Amino acid sequence: MNDVILMNLQRPAHARETKHMTFREGQPCETSVDASEILLRKHKRQLECQRKRREQRRRIDYYPSDKALEVILARTHHGSMGGDYSSIINKLVLATVLERNPK
């Protein structure tokens, strides 16, 4: 028994047997524990980014009427820059303001 323990301690730290390997940045995912640690870090990062984004930008909940939704959807083109709902609504609001108050 002591021989096994001594042999294990003589091996480099990264090669010693453990119940599970903890995740190390830049290393491949080895176990389900590693995978859960990665997901936890990713979730914490997403929450942190969301908090920063909400500190910097105002969010408005908006429920468009049926006609307004038709206009928005007609101008929406996912997958390209400026084709998302927020961008379309911004363009419509700004166009209306500029139309009513030309410089």
Report yes or no on whether pTM surpasses 0.85: no
Write down the H helix ranges in 1-103. 2-10, 32-56, 66-75, 85-100
- Average pLDDT score over the chain: 78
If one counts every other C-beta atom within 10 angstroms of the C-beta of residue 23, the result is 19
Cα angle for residues 18, 20, 36 (degrees, 5° grid): 165
CA gyration radius for the chain?
27
Share of the chain above pLDDT 70, in %: 72
Q: What confidence tens digit (pLDDT) does each residue in 22-49 have?
A: 556 676 667 777 788 889 999 999 999 9
The pLDDT, as a whole number, for residue 23 is: 55
pLDDT(100) > 70? yes
Q: What confidence tens digit (pLDDT) does each residue in 47-66 have?
A: 999 999 989 988 888 899 99
Q: For 88, phi and psi rounded to 5 degrees?
A: -65, -45
